Amino acid sequence: MTNYDIVIVGGGPAGLSAAYSAARKKATTIVLEKDDSVAQNIRTSGVSWIDDIKRLGIPEKYYNPIKNFRIISPSKDIVLRGNTPKSCVLDVRATYQYLATLAAKEGAEISVRSEVQSVNVSPSNKITGIVANTPKGKMKFDSKLVIDASGFRSIVARKAGFAHNWTRYGVGAEYECYCEDIDPETWILMVGNKYSDAGYAWIFPISKQRVRIGTGVGRPDSISDPIKKLNSIIENKFKPLDELNNIQPIEFHYGLIPNEGARKSTIFDGLLLVGDSAGQANPLVLEGIRFAIEFGRVAGEIGAKSLSKGCTKESLQEYEKFWKQRVNSKIKSSLKVQSRWLKMNDDAWDKEVEIIQQMTFDDFLDFIKAQFTTSKLMKLVLTHPHATAKQLFSLILDK
């Protein structure tokens, strides 16, 4: 069968979640994944937040809970300790394959090693399907709706001429390593020029003897190679790697994430964008899996509902309204902080870490999650002892 109600491009968390909810609504649905298997290539560090992940129904066995947050700058080393785990590091491959299982159980088809070659557009500029290379050869997939969940590439929207290449984005490289002497309840961010000249480095534990060590840089602010930076951090055992023993890489991960806010429009006639394709990511720690799952499910449900209305842009408005009301202003606020961070030298980073050190644990969590609210920011402006902190929080408040 090559005629479907909904064709979904991309077998990541957004696409698989859209397939799950669309198939539940009895829409004939297929997911086209370009790699040989779901989550064959890991492109994310898997950081997320336990309350969101639980709400989305991801079982506890698929993540490592994180209680504490350590931040290291050139001359500062602080730890914010929590009483209970709030963050987590996902087993990305297992989580994505779990989402694939949910979609398949509802009746969605999944076609791996299937890469988009072209997009079919009607004379009225409506998307009517795609052509893809698959293990069965080149195939034409006709559909009433295409959901572009292809991640950073936004392959369908770009080929149709509806979206531009991202001009601001993060490039991340990491090793997943066997390692001894890990504190499995603490994740670590390292900032300053030796870690990244426009970004940060990280240590994210996924078990007592397995950890992700990586670094990211912002384009176009930096032209440095994150792989070279990462190798330098490990080879020179920059703090806190000097505290770890027997670091042995088991996997290498590399990914790109959009870093300029949400697309102006994520709906068109016959087309809907979700996940990184839509720019649904938190710029502060460049995480968006929680958004991908939640908004993927919404996309599939509203997409299925729009079938009876011809999948026009108008019939998809509910989707864009829902997700933009939830996160668009928070993403915009986060971008202000992130643009400040990308310009910082070592001295400025030390001062920024001092600001963070003065926050309560809950305020820090809201800050790093991009859960900005006017009342919380006003409180921080009024109560934080540092003048630079007042400037930071006022910057976010300045819409």
19 plus 65 within the same structural domain: no
Residue 395, pLDDT > 90, answer: no
> Is it the case that residue 399 has pLDDT exceeding 80?
no
Which CATH number do you get for residue 244? 3.30.9.10
What are the residues facing 120 on neighbouring strands? 129
Q: β-strand 68-73 against 186-190: which pairing, if any? A: parallel
| pLDDT at residue 283, as a whole number | 82
Pair (235, 343) in one structural domain: no
Summary mean pLDDT of the chain: 92
pLDDT in tens, 18-40: 999 999 999 999 999 999 999 99
Model pTM score:
0.93
Element (H, E) at 76: strand 76-81
Please give the average per-residue pLDDT across 88-100, as a whole number.
97
Q: Are residues 173 and 237 in the same domain?
A: yes
Q: What is the mean pLDDT of residues 314-324?
A: 97
Contact 175, 35 (CB under 8 A): no
Is the model's pLDDT at 190 over the cut of 90?
A: yes
- Determine the Cα–Cα distance for residues 60 and 188; give it in Å rounded to an integer: 22
Q: C-alpha distances in angstroms, 165 versus 8, 83, 101, 393?
A: 20, 43, 32, 31
Q: Who wins on pLDDT, 277 or 399?
A: 277
Residues 309 and 246 in one domain: no
Distance CA 292, CA 297 (A): 8
Provide the CB-side half-sphere exposure for 140 (13 A, CA): 5
Does 67 or 399 have the greater pLDDT score? 67
The continuous run of DSSP H or E covering 112 comes out as none
pLDDT at 360 over 90: no
- Could you give the CA distance from residue 194 to residue 74 in angstroms, rounded to a whole number? 9
CATH code: domain of residue 123: 3.50.50.60
The pLDDT of residue 358: 82
- Tell me the pLDDT tens digit for each residue of 244-301: 999 999 999 999 999 888 999 999 999 999 999 999 998 888 789 999 999 999 999 9
Longest Cα separation, the chain: 65
- 393 has pLDDT over 90: no
Name the DSSP letter for residue 191. Answer: -
Residue 397 pLDDT exceeds 60: no
Q: Are residues 161 and 219 in the same domain?
A: no
Range from 41-55, 77-91, 339-353 carrying the lowest mean pLDDT: 339-353
pLDDT at 200 over 60: yes
200 lies in the same domain as 307: no
What's the average model confidence in pLDDT over 213-234? 95
| Extended strands (E) in 152-230 | 169-180, 186-190, 199-207, 210-219
Shared domain check, 96 and 86? no
**The pLDDT of residue 343:** 84
Q: Note whether 239 and 27 are within 8 A (CB).
A: no
pLDDT at 336: 81
Domain span at 369: 332-397
Strands 267-268 and 271-273: antiparallel
The number of distinct structural domains making up the chain is 3
Q: For residue range 126-173, what is the model confidence (pLDDT) as tens digits? A: 999 999 999 999 999 999 999 999 999 999 999 999 999 999 999 999
Q: Check whether residue 238 and residue 185 sit in a common domain.
A: yes
Whether 134 and 173 share a structural domain: no
pLDDT at 340 over 90: no
Name residue 188's beta-bridge partners: 70, 203
DSSP letters for 297-352: HHHHHHHHHHGGGTT-TGGGHHHHHHHHHHHHHHHHHHHHHHHHHHT--HHHHHHH
Residues 307 and 252 in one domain: no
Q: From 204, 238, 258, give the residue that closes a domain.
A: 258
The conformational region for residue 51 under phi > 0 = left, psi -120 to 50 = alpha, else beta, is alpha
For residue 383, the model assigns a pLDDT of: 64
Domain end among 303, 326, 349: 326
- Point out the domain boundary residue: 203, 238, 258: 258
**Residues 383 and 339 grouped into a single domain:** yes
Residues 148, 18 contacting (CB under 8 angstroms): no
Note the pLDDT of residue 95. 97
Q: Is the domain of 175 the same as that of 53?
A: yes
